[in-house]
Structure 1
Amino acid sequence: MTAVRPDPFFVGDSPALDFLNSIAAPRSVEIEWLGTGADVLDWLVQSGLLTDEEISVLRDHRHGAALDRAAKDIRAFREEFRSFVGGMSMANQVQDDHPMIEKLNRLMSRGALTLQLAQSETEGFDCQLKHRIQTADDLLPRIAAACAELISEADFTHVKRCEGSGCTLFFRDLSKNHRRRWCSMEVCGNRAKVAAHRKRS
């Protein structure tokens, strides 16, 4: 019987870090949430980076092969960005000539944005940015935009990797004293407490 894949983790307090966390080994078994093109579409909607409406055209089975190729490119970029984030969390400062800056700008230049009026949740209308998604190649620019937002907004001294044994998840430490240690207190934090209790006993 095939194990049911759990829902993706969204513990990063940043869509870009959640993107890095789209592959993880929460119980020593690696789980890939971007394995296929269909997986990528599902993850993008769950993460809030795109809406069902924006990607609806890609749900057609005719895009299947192109989506799978795009998923491969997205996974490769994820590992590039992981190396970048790992380096920046030690350097604490992003140099303006870092190759990742040029790469993100190049990727984002391929994307198309449009402004649209949409009904406000209160009253009247809001002017909203919409990502024009017409082909599978339009997905990576949206992910690149989220990664660029992290670089422009985050203090990399507060971008951390969970201290849980074997955990690979990243997060932005937005706690008041910047003392967050775990991706989740319910998972890694609790395991650490149990392990510490056993050691004391």
Structure 2
Amino acid sequence: MKQQFRQVNQTLAAERQEKEDLESKNSRVQEALRLANKQSVDSRREQDSLTARIVSMEESLDIRNNKLKAAEDSIQLLRAQLNQYQHDFGNERIAREQIHQESQEKGLKLENLRKENDELKNMVQKYTEAQMQRLSSQYSNPNTTSPVSPTSPYHHGRDSMEERRGLGGGLGGGEEEEEEGRLTTIVVVNIQHGIIQ
């Protein structure tokens, strides 16, 4: 596009120079005609020849003027196209920068979410291990008691077992251990189920 623009400018400069040359020649021819009229009537033929040359030069000058005007119109069109290309390129560059920035922001958010997810996983794992260790300790040391929520299955299980002891005269040693193990299993399953949810 820039090369075409330079070529058109060079062509216009050449056309202008040629136009000036033609006008200069025209002036010289007119002067020659005046001198010829003064010198002799016999120079009429030469005058006619010069007149024909002038007419031809004028026609050539008109043609070149038309070409010059067309070239100027082409230059205006090329300038408009160049401005449009520059505008479109600027818009595309801004759009690319916005897309790149949004991509970086989303990548950063994703990385933060991954870190938070890893932290939550670690917290859940530590909590589960602590609960399992506590329940295992309670199971291995049945005389050790720890606070149990009134709403937990283990609490209701112990109440039911105590009621059964009071009403039925108590359980045997093996039956009591089996009942304790069953209740411990229920508590572990409920804790794991709550964590998974």
Could you state the TM-score of these two structures normalised by the residue count of structure 1? Answer: 0.19
Q: Relative to total residues, which structure has the larger helix share, 1 or 2?
A: 2
**Computing the radius of gyration over CA atoms, which structure comes out larger, 1 or 2?**
2
Q: Whose relative contact order is higher, 1 or 2, with alpha carbons under 8 Å and at least 6 apart? A: 1
Could you state the TM-score of these two structures normalised by the residue count of structure 2? Answer: 0.20
Q: Relative to total residues, which structure has the larger strand share, 1 or 2?
A: 1
